Amino acid sequence: MAAVGAAATHLDVVRGKRAALFFAAVAILLGLPLWWKTTETYRAPLPYSQISALNALQLRLMVPVTVVFTRDSIPLDDQEKLPFTVVHEREIPLKYKMKIKCRFQKAYRRALDHEEEALSSGSVHEAEAMLAELKEQAEGSLTVYVISEYSSLLPQDMMSYIGPERTAVVRGIMHREAFNIIGRRIIQIAQAMSLTEDVLAAALADHLPEDKWSSDKRRPLKSSLGYEITFSLLNPDPKSHDVHWDIEGAVQHYVWPFLNALSAAGNFSVDSQILYYAMLGVNPRFDPTSFSYYLPMHSLPHVINPVESRLGSSAASLYPVLNFLLYVPELAHSPLYIQDMDGAPVATNAFHSPRWGGIMVYNIDPKAYNASELPVRVEVDMVQVMEVFLAQLRLLFGIAQPQVPPKCLLSGPKNEGLMTWELDQLLWARSVENLATATTTLTSLAQLLGKISNIVIKDDVASEVYRAVAAVQKAAEELASGHLSSAFVASQEAVTSSERAFFDPSLLHLLYFPDDQKFAIYIPLFLPMAVPILLSLVKIFLEMHKSWRKPEKID
Amino acid sequence: MAAPCFFSRLWRAALALLALGSLAASQIEDQAKQFFRSGHTNNWAVLVCTSRFWFNYRHVANTLSVYRSVKRLGIPDSHIVLMLADDMACNARNPKPATVFSHKNMELNVYGDDVEVDYRSYEVTVENFLRVLTGRIPPSTPRSKRLLSDDRSNILIYMTGHGGNGFLKFQDSEEITNIELADAFEQMWQKRRYNELLFIIDTCQGASMYERFYSPNIMALASSQVGEDSLSFQVCPKSLCVSTPGHRTDLFQRDPKHVLITDFFGSVRKVEITTETLSLQRDSQITESSYKEDRMDEELMEPLKYAEQLPVAQIIHQALLAEVWTLPSAPCGMLGSRSWPATFTETEAEGLAPPWGLHSRPVGPYHHGFLQDLWNQAHEVHFLDSRVREGRVEDCSLG
């Protein structure tokens, strides 16, 4: 009986040990990995290697130039060699992590008959008119016509001419080294019309490490999908001045043509408003010598802030807003002039602030006060006003005065106020800026994910990142092959996708869990389960240890 | 023989000195152009009060004091994100409704008429605060609730409430830890959402909140050290209440001695004179047609009469008093115990017109009621300045 009982308990003990071991096995082999996996922050896979490769991307900006030689421009034996292609590549020396190379691909060819005819007309403008009818030029490309050294198309002392569309005219030379000399001239012209180091430095100004304090580089607006332009008329003294401005007509006739010419760079929307009793925040000072009031230059920065709160620009849209204010000074402070640093009144009577907009002071002709009683009816001369506002708009966009090479005639501006190759310059600069921004955003996202372990990456965020990477690569390819418009579109897509991925609200899904709080959460769950298992394991181990020793002792 | 050599050397030295002198002069001129010194083009402020309930009145008053200062010095409402966890002005226990005073002598009403609170009451949460800082905001958020800063923005972040060693309590129900805050600043830095950041924390054991920062260009100030309570010297003398302000400038790249307060508290735009114009062709057609339209409009409308305007000019144009340039003393030791350094009064003070000037004395008992209504209607008067007035309960019920 005792033996059976002993055998039974022995069996129970063995069963108990096996059960304990089984529990432990399940807990450790199955439970722990399962718990670890299910409490991980979800991170959809991201192309980290591709993102780090983007930093070392080499940007090659290709400008296709077609060079057309007329009959008398170069020596005959050089003419025999046409057509052929010459490539001029130069690295832009900027302290930026991406290497940027500028490549001018010049395709030399002979002039066709109609081109010869056009280039032998009387003036450059006629020639251009005839040439422009014939073909549309792709964005980013240039055509340079080489005319004879003694041609009368250009004024005698001018060696070259830059036209408003994407064409230029250069004088040829009868010399052995004709191609080299002309080639250098063409490069100078092509650089002025497309890409110079300054243009790219301005575009990358936010990404370059040094020199934050140059004013030229900090003027342009950041690249964005769209812009909102607001024209405001400020009338602080409606009792004296009954101001009327035909803003709709002016916008229709002057602003929209300009914006349509710029339409490749973004969506624009324009609105206008009139604010009454809106005063400047600064008191003008009286100048007894000229019986006028003036605003000294150092007080100009204080003008903007008090007025800005009343402009309602925050309600307009989520795009960056450019404000253009026209201030008609009150009767007590008329006429009002803006003084520059030397104390001289500014010709335009206007000033602007980078990335904000511009303000112009419109003085009323004193003769208007003679006859009538107050309020005096004032018709604002919109042409004078729009000349200043459009010039400010150009500056705010970063369309600088072109750097023409010496002895070069620059054509007068077009009606719209924007030359086509200036738009190309803007698109080049914006494409490079977009690529830089997109790359920085993606790299920062990758770095952040490495540093902070609590950020969740959902699948749609991951797909945005993939899309952004693909768009950056596509934009780089298009830039290298000289297709400017598709490169710009791809770069915009890259920026939008990368910003959407970075600023997705779901990335903040899990707020911070400090380690000690994690212990506090899991210990009450695991400890009651783990303690019996561990104790039984220890007991089993001790018994096994004892049973090993016993046989040794016996033996 | 030696003489000509000597003279030529002297001449060269003189030329070199002249060149150096002119270089130095232009350098001094550059230094004087303080506009471009810090490299920022706009300013933002994020002011957070994290406590609710009436007994935390002082926290709301502190935040509103900073709000008023920042607004006076030029940061517009569109660039201020103000988060107040509770409404003290219209609290049922407020004996002077629609007012919040920053000092027990009840001299300065920091609530005023034109407070723009962006996050109010239960919207002030850790999540919303972090979303504002990092920019990860749901797309339906209005523009006034966003921090739309860029890489050239200087941001002032002021937080007040109840805090402890390494955390700050939000609304009695949750906390933000110093590591979370440091991570949020790092996310801001990675996306270049700030040029320089000034972080001011006005809580007990405030210095623990800035211990974990690791992103560059951050300067941090705290009103108390770890282990100390942040106590007001209005209530309790310095000998009894120990509250030592702390600071951290090792992450800041510029020398703090050269940093103007207005780099963070004020907003001065960079401005350039426009020297160029485009030339546009005059289109005679449009001027004639618009003239005709206006004539027609005029005949239809009745002649307008202009009522006598308020003598705003007389009221506003009072002389700036130098002594007035002190911050309203806030009931938490740090701000009240110091006076601003001299650079503050010199810089932008001259250009500011009196509407933005500071009055600390009451303007008069007649400036409430009827005049208040008129002023609210005439939009030109933005009295950022606060003055003593008897609040009315009706002001609260409008909200």
Angle between helices B178-190 and A420-451 (to 10 degrees): 150
Q: Which residue has the tokens 């770890």?
A: B226
Helical (H) or strand (E) element with B8: helix B2-32
Residues of B in contact with A244 (CB under 8 A): 294
Q: How far is CA A487 from CA A27, A100, A166, A167, B361, in A?
A: 57, 15, 18, 22, 62
- Average pLDDT of chain B to the nearest whole number: 73
Q: Which residues of B touch A212 (CB under 8 A)?
A: 39
pLDDT at B35: 44
Express as a percent the part of chain B with pLDDT over 90. 32
Residue A78 has pLDDT above 50, yes or no: yes
Would you say A43 and A449 are in contact if contact means Cβ atoms under 8 Å apart?
Answer: yes
Put simply, the answer to whether B274 touches A348 (Cβ < 8 Å) is yes
Q: What percent of chain B has pLDDT over 70?
A: 61
DSSP annotation of A500: H
pLDDT at B343: 31
B162 labelled catalytic: yes
* pLDDT attached to residue B349: 36
- pLDDT for A88 equals 84
Report d(CA A255, CA A518) in Å as an integer: 61
pLDDT at residue number A536: 87
Q: What is the DSSP string of B138-155?
A: -TT--GGGS----TTEEE
Q: Which residues are CB-neighbours of B334 under 8 A, at least 6 positions away?
A: B202, B221, B222, B223, B224, B230, B243, B245
Query: Residues of A with CB below 8 A from B287's CB?
Result: 246, 249, 382
Asked whether the beta carbons of residue A391 and residue B281 sit closer than 8 angstroms, the reply is no
* Chosen from A508, A513, A515 to mutate, greatest number of chain B CBs within 10 A: A508
User: Do residues A86 and A106 lie in contact, with contact meaning Cβ atoms separated by under 8 Å?
Assistant: yes
Residue A92 makes CB contacts below 8 A (sequence gap 6+) with: A100, A101, A102, A195, A197, A200
Interface of A with B in 512-541 (CB under 8 A): 512, 514
Give the tens place of pLDDT for each residue, A14-55: 888 888 889 889 988 998 899 888 887 788 888 999 988 888
CB pairs < 8 Å spanning A and B? 198
Inter-chain CB proximity B131 and A348 less than 8 Å: no
Please give the structure tokens belonging to residue A515. Answer: 């380690």
Rounded CA-CA distance A234/B38 in Å is: 32
Please state, in angstroms and rounded to a whole number, the distance separating the CA atoms of residues A107 and A183: 11
Q: Which of A392-401, A501-510, B231-240 has the lowest average pLDDT? A: B231-240
A466 Cα to chain B: minimum distance (Å): 19
- Of A212-226, A536-550, B354-368, the range with the lowest mean pLDDT is B354-368
**Which amino acid type is present at position A369?**
Y
Is B236 catalytic? The answer is no
pTM of the model: 0.76
A156-209: pLDDT as tens digits:
788 888 888 888 888 888 877 778 888 888 888 888 888 777 778 777 777 766
Q: Which of A191, A190, A170, A192 is nearest to A181 (CA)?
A: A170
Between B228 and A34, the more confident residue is A34
Chain B interface test: which of A302, A326, A352, A518 (most B C-beta within 10 Å): A302
Catalytic, out of B40, B79, B90, B204: B204
Higher pLDDT, B27 or B176: B176
Tracing tokens 């005023």 back to the chain, one arrives at B112
Contact between chains at B272 and A353 (C-beta distance less than 8 A): yes
Within an 8 Å CB–CB cutoff, is residue A444 touching chain B?
A: yes
Output the pLDDT for position B328. Answer: 38
Query: How is residue A276 written in tokens?
Result: 């009454």
Q: Which residues of B are less than 8 Å from A441 in CB distance?
A: 191
* A233 has a pLDDT exceeding 90: yes
| For residues B25-38, average pLDDT | 53
- Shortest CB distance from B278 goes to which of A352, A390, A507? A390
CA-derived radius of gyration, chain A = 37
Chain B, nearest residue to A451 by Cα: B183
Please tell me the distance from the alpha carbon of residue A249 to that of residue A246, in angstroms, as a whole number: 6
Closest-CA residue to A162 (of A136, A185, A135, A137): A185
CA A533 vs CA A17, A32, A520, A540: distances in Å: 11, 14, 21, 10
**Residues in chain A within 8 Å Cβ distance of B278:** 387, 390-391, 394, 413, 417
Structure-token match 């450059």, residue found = A124
Angle at which helix A420-451 crosses helix A484-502, to 10 degrees, equals 30
From CA B296, how far away is CA B290, in angstroms rounded?
10
Other CB atoms within 10 Å distance of the CB of residue A53: 12
- CB-CB under 8 Å, B289 with A297: no
Q: What is the pLDDT of residues A312-326, one digit of tens each?
A: 776 667 788 899 999
* Average pLDDT of the residues of chain A: 84
Task: Give the residue with greater pLDDT, A456 vs B129.
Answer: B129
Closest CA to A322 of A271, A388, A260: A271
Which tokens hold the place of B78? 């569109």
Specify the pLDDT at position B299: 55
Q: Between B177, B187, B271, which is nearest A514 by CB?
A: B177
Burial class of B370 by CB neighbour count within 10 A (0 to 12, 13 to 18, 19+): exposed
Q: Which of B5, B162, B241, B247 does the annotation list as catalytic?
A: B162
Worst-scoring range by mean pLDDT, A98-112, A290-304, A468-482, B345-359? B345-359
Average pLDDT over residues A5-9: 76
pLDDT of amino acid A232: 94
Question: Which regions of chain B does DSSP assign to beta strands (E)?
Answer: 42-49, 80-84, 119-120, 153-160, 162-164, 167-170, 174-177, 196-202, 218-222, 246-248, 272-273
Q: Reduced to 3 states, what is the DSSP secondary structure of residue A131?
A: helix
Q: Name residues 308-327 of chain A within 8 A of B (Cβ).
A: 308-310, 313-315, 318
Residue B249 corresponds to which tokens in the numbers above? 């400038």
Asked if A282 has any chain B CB less than 8 Å from its own CB, the reply is: yes
Measured in degrees and rounded to the nearest 5, phi and psi for residue B105 equal -80, 0
User: What residues contact residue B222 under an 8 Å CB cut-off, 6+ apart?
Assistant: B200, B201, B202, B206, B207, B209, B210, B245, B246, B247, B334
- Least confident stretch, A86-90, B98-102, B236-240: B236-240
Highest mean pLDDT, choosing among A212-226, B1-15, B118-132, B307-321: B118-132
> Are residues A348 and B277, on separate chains, in Cβ contact within 8 Å?
yes
If phi > 0 it is left, if psi is from -120 to 50 it is alpha, else beta; for residue A300 that is: alpha
Question: Is A355 near chain B, with CB under 8 Å?
Answer: yes
More confident residue, B332 or A537: A537
Alpha-carbon gap: A461 to the closest alpha carbon of chain B (Å): 13
Nearest CB neighbour to B280, from listed A277, A314, A386: A386
- Taking the CA atoms of residue A297, residue A298, residue A303 and residue A304 in that order, the dihedral angle to the nearest 10 degrees is 100
Q: Residue B197 is encoded by which pair of tokens?
A: 């950041």
pLDDT above 60 (res B392) = no
pLDDT tens-digit series, residues B235-278: 777 777 778 889 999 999 888 888 888 889 988 777 888 888 88
Which chain A residues are closer than 8 Å to B355 by Cβ?
A: 279, 281, 306
The pair phi, psi for residue B270, each rounded to 5°, is -85, 130
